[in-house]
Amino acid sequence: MSTGARLIEVEEVHKRFGGVHAVRGVSLGFDAGTIVGLVGENGAGKSTIGKMIAGLLRPDEGRILVAGQEVRFHTPRDALRAGIGIITQELSIIPSRSVVENVFLGIEQASFGLVSKPALRKRYAELAELTGFEIEPETKARDLRTAEQIRVEIMRALARDARVIVMDEVTAALTFDESERLFEIVRTLRERGTSVVYVSHFLQEVLALVDEVFVMRDGLLVKQAPASEETPKSLVTAMVGRSLDVVFPPRPAVPDDAPVVCSMKGITRAGVVEDVSIDVRAGEVVGLAGLIGSGRTELVRCVFGADPLDSGTVEMLGEPVKIRKPGDAVRAGIAMVPESRKDQGLMMGRSISENVTLPHLDQVSNGGVINGGREGSAVRALTERLGVRAPSIRTLVETLSGGNQQKVLFAKWLFRSPRFLIADEPTRGVDVGAKQQIYELIASLAEQGLGVLLISSELEEVLGLSHRVLVMREGRIVAEFPQGVSQETVMQAAFGEQPTVVPHQSAGRNAS
Ligand SMILES: Nc1ncnc2c1ncn2[C@@H]1O[C@H](COP(=O)(O)OP(=O)(O)OP(=O)(O)O)[C@@H](O)[C@H]1O
Ligand SMILES: [Mg+2]
């Protein structure tokens, strides 16, 4: 397009973290007004590249040029001044500040001196209108859920008229409508000459959105091609170095005499969950489908003791159990892999081992003294089974790639050999290979006699793994289908009427 220099030029860049050579001599570039996709397995180096472009990390070797000029950013703010913003997997909002303050952080003083509150409120309203995000501007950021915090980060990047915005797995926490809206915004940005680096594991979504796609594997750039020439399958082949189809493991029939592991009766929480009863039997995977906001996560949070019930009971193997807090659920043999690894699951500054064993210290200690050997071998066995990629179990969780963090979260909940597993979005943010491992794990846990309740916004995943699918709408169970039901049938039940548009694959992901 232009005769001059490219907007971004990454030249022979390397990045090491201790012994890990995360990025090994990568060169790539793109022009103004292009959307580029960055894909690869967990730990391939995608986020590291994104962070170097945005000044959150500095390359050990190699150069980064912006419009032909070599830049050396010292802080993300330097990068922002050069017109480069980033929205990352690890959020960077300031918890004690309000939403508006977070969105306009830094720009008020820089460009206008003191800006009047009404003026900021007006600009905020414009951004809210543009994005369709509905967040009360005066709320303190710490009171927001993860998904809302991501929305704040998106507005913050948009408020700055950046020339380049790196988006690292942003849609994982957005609803279907919000994702669609974001794609529209990204396309509008492109028309205005802004470039977007889009990192995602949703390959179909990437191909539909981007102009050009870069594939990384083990810190190297292994493929670069126009999106129009690629398919999800061709990308996966490049990502893993061989062709790989996601296959759902076989589902052995649940024996007729299999006991009911968990029986939920009349679970009600005013306004969100209405009189839900579900029996899950040993060896059975029950899928829970429904639109965002249909009450799935709210239901399982009640059952797990994370939120209070208004009425209803839970029985484990026929015995009523009182669950007032998650600890009660864990003792009763219930495990839950929650939606968000960051705010509900992991301590980022602790090791893999500590994260896995902390809720279960009574099992690895003798009279208060932790038995290091027992702990180590149990954690190693689990992390190996889950395919956690890390130098050792002493590695700090914050240094792991996003997908490997998800696997650690799984390990934490499996440590105590539960009887009933609630998996809420178990494969969010994990790559195709790891997905396959998690599918096999869920199937094998069921085969070993666990009951599993599975929530996933990838409808394909729910249908591929479950013996039975329940559909929730407005807090109630509205339909039940046996294995083999079609995606369309389930979506219709979830919408409650004929959807005008038959949702495509990514609709299935977000809307279920
Ligand atoms: N701060 C850090 N300290 C130590 N190692 C790190 C750090 N950040 C990343 N790494 C390592 O660098 C490698 C690349 O990580 P990166 O986060 O770039 O992967 P990714 O492609 O974004 O993966 P994912 O899809 O799981 O998010 C991984 O082996 C990771 O463990
Ligand atoms: Mg990443």
pLDDT over 60 (residue 342): no
Token pair recorded at residue 506: 């990514």
Neighbours of 113 (CB within 10 A): 7
Last residue of a domain, one of 190, 210, 240: 240
Q: Tell whether ligand 1 has an atom less than 6 A from the beta carbon of residue 236.
A: no
Nearest-CA residue for atom 1 of ligand 1: 399
Do 225 and 277 lie in a common domain?
no
Give the atom of ligand 1 at the shortest distance from the alpha carbon of 48: 18
Nearest-CA residue for atom 27 of ligand 1: 402
Do 105 and 49 lie in a common domain?
yes
Q: Tell whether ligand 1 has an atom less than 6 A from the beta carbon of residue 112.
A: no
Do 287 and 325 lie in a common domain?
yes
227 belongs to a structural domain:
yes
- The pLDDT confidence band at residue 509, using thresholds 50, 70 and 90, is very low
Low-confidence winner among 249-253, 266-270, 401-405, 477-481 (lowest mean pLDDT) = 401-405
Interatomic CA distance for residues 213 and 105, integer angstroms: 32
Interatomic CA distance for residues 206 and 299, integer angstroms: 32
Do 184 and 96 lie in a common domain?
yes
Q: How far is the CA of 168 from the centre of ligand 2 (A)?
A: 7
Last residue of a domain, one of 206, 240, 274: 240
252 belongs to a structural domain:
no
- pLDDT confidence of residue 7: 93
Q: How far is the CA of 47 from the centre of ligand 2 (A)?
A: 4
> What's the Cα-to-Cα distance from 134 to each of 147, 165, 312, rounded to whole Å?
12, 22, 32
98 belongs to a structural domain:
yes
249 belongs to a structural domain:
no
Q: Tell whether ligand 1 has an atom less than 6 A from the beta carbon of residue 47.
A: yes
Do 323 and 469 lie in a common domain?
yes
289 belongs to a structural domain:
yes
pLDDT in tens, 387-397: 788 889 999 99
Longest dimension (CA), the chain: 74
2 belongs to a structural domain:
no
Nearest-CA residue for atom 25 of ligand 1: 42
Nearest-CA residue for atom 8 of ligand 1: 399
pLDDT in tens, 428-447: 777 777 788 888 889 988 99
What CATH number is given to the structural domain containing 465? 3.40.50.300
Note down the domain range covering 328: 259-333+420-427+450-512
24 belongs to a structural domain:
yes
- Number of structural domains in the chain: 2
Do 198 and 319 lie in a common domain?
no
Do 68 and 176 lie in a common domain?
yes
Do 14 and 151 lie in a common domain?
yes
Do 78 and 225 lie in a common domain?
yes
Q: How far is the CA of 58 from the centre of ligand 1 (A)?
A: 14
Q: How far is the CA of 23 from the centre of ligand 1 (A)?
A: 9
Do 148 and 101 lie in a common domain?
yes
Do 90 and 172 lie in a common domain?
yes
412 belongs to a structural domain:
no
Please write down the HEC assignment for all residues of 458-485. Answer: CHHHHHHHCCEEEEEECCEEEEEEECCC
pLDDT over 90 percentage in the chain: 43
- pLDDT confidence of residue 389: 84
